[in-house]
Amino acid sequence: MTRTGIGYDLHRLVSGRNFILGGVRIPFEMGPAGHSDGDVLSHAICDALLGAAGMGDIGSHFPDSDPKWKDASSLLFLSEVLRQMTLSSLRITHVDAIVVAERPKLGPYFPSIRECLARTLALSADQINLKAKTHEGLGAIGRGEAIASYAIVTLEG
Ligand code: MG
């Protein structure tokens, strides 16, 4: 059976935080606020995986009230979800995601982000597609105050 899941996340951008996206650190003067590393792309993919697997959402699996996840790499969330999915004989076939940010320019980092996510999810990089969008200067994202991500995943199992 083919299953699909959708995920979305948004974090405020603040100074004094590393800018981590898809597990890759990108040089920038601000970074996503959050209990974990605030990696919106990993969080959106995580929620999409959980949705497709019928396993709830990221907040119930990795609550931000749990000190265990303080400043944690969000790749850990992906690894853990993958582990649970594998126990249920679910296999990821494809990930497609959009990252919405006014700055920095993300496209140049996509090859390394795809490699990093592929390693974490036991996929090949060509099973992960990434797209970057700006918010055309509009709203909080357009003012550079936030970053968001949308993801859709397809599973078989
Ligand atoms: Mg998040």
For residue 37, the CA-to-ligand 1 centroid distance in Å is: 9
Q: Give me the mean pLDDT over the 105-123 stretch.
A: 98
For residue 43, the CA-to-ligand 1 centroid distance in Å is: 5
Token digits of residue 45: 């993919």
For residue 87, the CA-to-ligand 1 centroid distance in Å is: 25
Q: Specify whether the backbone of 53 is left (phi greater than 0), alpha (psi in -120 to 50) or beta.
A: alpha
Asked if residue 99 lies in contact with residue 40, where contact means CB atoms within 8 angstroms, the answer is: yes
Strand ranges for the chain from DSSP E: 2-15, 20-21, 24-25, 30-32, 91-100, 128-133, 146-156
- Return the higher-pLDDT residue of 136 and 68: 136
For residue 58, the CA-to-ligand 1 centroid distance in Å is: 8
pTM (predicted TM-score): 0.97
Nearest to 64 by CA among 95, 90, 96, 32: 32
pLDDT digits (tens, 9 = 90+) for 6-53: 999 999 999 999 999 999 999 999 999 999 999 999 999 999 999 999
Distance (Å, whole) CA 144 – CA 149: 14
| Total residues belonging to the chain | 157
In the prediction, which pLDDT does 33 show?
97
In the prediction, which pLDDT does 64 show?
87
Distance (Å, whole) CA 19 – CA 16: 9
Helix axes 40-53, 75-87, angle to 10 degrees: 10
In the prediction, which pLDDT does 56 show?
96
pLDDT digits (tens, 9 = 90+) for 53-102: 999 999 999 998 889 889 899 999 999 999 999 999 999 999 999 999 99
